[in-house]
Chain A
Amino acid sequence: MLEVNHASKIFAKGTPNQKIALRNLNLSLKEGEFVTVLGSNGAGKSTLFNAICGSFILDEGSIRLDGRDITFLSEHKRARQIGRLFQDPMKGTAPNLTIEENLALSYSRNSKGLFSKAVGKKERELFREKLRTFDMGLEDRMKTKIGLLSGGQRQVVTLLMSTIVTPKLLLLDEHTAALDPATSEKVMEITNRIVKENNINTLMITHNMASALVTGNRTIMLDDGEIIFDMTEEKRKGMTVSDLMVMYSEKKQQNFDNDRILLSN
C-alpha cells in the first residue's frame, strides 16, 4: 500500500544548523492498516508526514503509494490521494467560506468540471447526510461561515473534508491535541468510525501512549529520524505504557552505548 524506502532528509546541509530529520527510514503499510506513531519532539514524525505529502522532496529514497511512485510528485497532486489533518483546527478549513463551500472544495477532487456549479442540490444533500451522522447539529448550519465554529467542530468538518472522497491514505498529525478531553474523545470516535467504514490506511501521530496502544492495529515509535520499534497487533497486545517507557529507555541506552564505543575508539 504505502512504501517508504530508505528515506533520508537532511535540513540545512553543510551549515552549523544541519539537522538529520530522516535517517534511512523504511516503512511499509499493508492494506487496511491503522498505525499510531509515537515519538518525542523532533523525532521526525511530522517530517515523515511532510515527506509523504510532498512538502519537500527526499534527499535519498523513494515513496510509493498504491504501487505508484510518488517520490517526485508535487504536493497538490499527491493530495488527490492523501488526506491530512493538523493539530491546529484553523489549518484545514477556509474561515470565510461556509461549511458547504468548504466541503464542496474538497469534494471537487471528484470534479465535474471547473465551470460546473460547486454546491449543487445533489452535493448539498450528500453533505447534509454525512454531517448528520456526527450528531453535532452541523447539518442545519451548512451556510454558516466555518470561522464561527468551535475548534472541535472545525476539526470534525476537516475530517469529513479529507475523507469525503475516500483517500488512499489518511495522515492525522495530533489532530485531537488542541481539543478539550470530551471533544477530543468525540473526534477520536468519529475518526475511528470513518476509518473503519471506508477501510482507509491511516497513520496517526499522538503523544498519548495509552491511546496509541489501543487505537488502530499497529504502533511504531520514531526517534532521531528512524523507527526504533514497530509493533503489530499481536505484539502490542497486553503492552502497557510503562512497558513502552522501559523499551524506549533501553533503546536509548543502547544508542548511547553505541556512541560511547564509537567515541572511545
Chain B
Amino acid sequence: MSVFIGSMELGLLYAIMVMGIYISFRVLNIPDLTTEGSFTFGLVISALFVTKGHPVLGLFMAIAAGAVAGIVTGFLQTKMNIHPVLAGILTMSGLYSINLWVLDGSSNLTLLGTESIYTMLRSQFEGLSRDTVELMIGAVIVLIVIVILYFFFQTELGLAIRATGDNPDMVRASSINVDTMKMIALAISNGLIALCGGLITQYQSFADVNSGVGTLVVGLASVIIGEVFFGRRSLTIGFISCVAGSVIYRYIIAIAINSQWFPAYMLKLVSSIIVALALALPVIKTKIVESKAKRRRKSC
C-alpha cells in the first residue's frame, strides 16, 4: 500500500517537470537538454533556502533560477545561433558548477530537522495522515500549474508561443519577435522543471547535485506514455496526459522493481528504450506495412 501511495506522490511531483518538458518538446518542438541542469538548479536553490528557514520563498526562487537557465539556453539558441541541442548541453554543463557552488562545493546536503513546506503543512493539518498531506500538496500544486497554463496558453502571448513551435515564419510575419517567444517559452519550461526539483528536495529532505541525471529521458518517457493513453489532441489534454504519464511511469517502475524483473540500476536503460521505441514507432510501422506489401506482390 505504501508503495502505491509513494508512487502516486512522486508521480504528481514529477508531473510538474513533465509539463515543463512538454512545453519545450511538444509546443516548441525543441528537445531541451537544459532540463538536467535546471532541475538540479531548482533543487539546490530550494535546499539552500530551506536551510536558511524560508521553504516557501525557496520554491519561488527555484522557479526564478530555472527561468534564468531557460533564458540563457534561449539566448544561445536564438541570438547566438547555436544548435538547440548543443545550447542546452552548454547550459546544463555550466550549471553543474553553479549547483556545486550553491552547495558550497559539497555534492550533497541533508535537510533533516529543518522546516520544509511538508513539515509546515503536516503540523498545520495534524488530523490527517502524513500520506494524505503529501498527496494533497502534490495534487494542489499540479492543479494550480495546470490552471495557470490553461489560461496562459489562451492569451495572445501564449498563442504566439504555440505558433512559434508550429511555423516561426508565420509568427514573424505577424509582427511578433520569434526569438523573444522562444526565450519566454524556455523560461516557463525550465521554471516548472526547477520548481519540480525544489519540491522534490523538500519532499525527500535531501539535496544531491547529481539528481538531475537522466531527468530529460524520464520526462520524455512520461510525455510519451501519457500520449499513449490520451492521444495528441489539444494542449490542455496534453498537460493532463503529462500528469497521467508521470504517475503511470512511477507505477511501471514500482511494479518492475517490486517484482524484481530488473535491478534498480537498470531504470535509466529501460526509460531510454521506452523513449527510443516510442519515437521510432512511426518508422517501424511504415516498414512493416511496406514489407508486407512487398511480400504480397512477390507471391503473386
Residues in chain A within 8 A of chain B (CB atoms)? 75-77, 79-80, 83-84, 91-97, 101-102, 104-106, 108-109, 111-119, 161-162
Contact = CB atoms under 8 A, between A and B. Distances in A.
Nearest to A84: B173
A108 B160 contact: yes
Interface string B157-172: 1111011001101111
A64 B277 CA distance: 55
A115 B161 CA distance: 12
A28 to B, nearest CB: 24
10 contacts: A76-B172, A83-B173, A94-B163, A94-B167, A97-B162, A97-B166, A102-B170, A105-B174, A113-B156, A119-B154
B177 interface: yes
A221 B172 CA distance: 29
Contacts of B158: 118
Q: Which 6 A-B pairs have the closest CB atoms?
A: A94-B166, A79-B175, A80-B175, A114-B157, A118-B159, A94-B167
A92 B160 CA distance: 14
Contacts of A75: 172
A105 B162 CA distance: 10
Contacts of B163: 94, 97, 101-102, 105
B167 A95 contact: yes
Contacts of A102: 163, 170
Contact of A115 (B155, B166, B176): B155
Given A105-B160, A114-B155, A79 B172 contact: yes
A108 B158 CA distance: 12
Nearest to B232: A96
A222 to B, nearest CB: 23
Interface in B166-201: 166-167, 169-178
Contact of B173 (A79, A97, A111, A118): A79
A116 B178 contact: no
Interface residues of B, number: 21
A2 B183 CA distance: 34
Contact of A162 (B166, B169, B173): B173
A142 to B, nearest CB: 14
Nearest to A147: B166
Contacts of A114: 155-157
A105 B163 CA distance: 8
Interface of B: 154-160, 162-163, 166-167, 169-178
A108 B172 contact: no
Contacts of A116: 155-156
A102 to B, nearest CB: 8
Contact of B166 (A76, A96, A117): A96
Given A91-B169, A93-B167, A162-B173, A76 B178 contact: yes
Nearest to B164: A94
Nearest to A109: B175
A92 B177 CA distance: 16
A76 B176 contact: yes
Contacts of B178: 76
Contacts of B154: 117-119
A104 B154 CA distance: 11
Given A80-B175, A91-B170, A101 B156 contact: no
B13 to A, nearest CB: 28
B237 to A, nearest CB: 13
A48 B176 CA distance: 22
B156 A108 contact: yes
A97 B159 CA distance: 9
Contact of A93 (B160, B170, B177): B170
A219 B243 CA distance: 59
B167 A77 contact: no
A76 B157 contact: no
A83 B163 CA distance: 17
A105 B171 contact: yes
B171 to A, nearest CB: 7
B156 to A, nearest CB: 5
Given A76-B177, A97-B166, 11 more contacts: A75-B172, A79-B173, A92-B170, A94-B171, A96-B162, A97-B162, A108-B159, A108-B160, A108-B176, A116-B156, A117-B154
B157 to A, nearest CB: 4
A104 B175 contact: no
Nearest to B173: A79
A113 B157 CA distance: 9
Contacts of B169: 91-92
A25 B142 CA distance: 59
A105 B159 CA distance: 7
A247 B215 CA distance: 68
Contacts of B177: 76
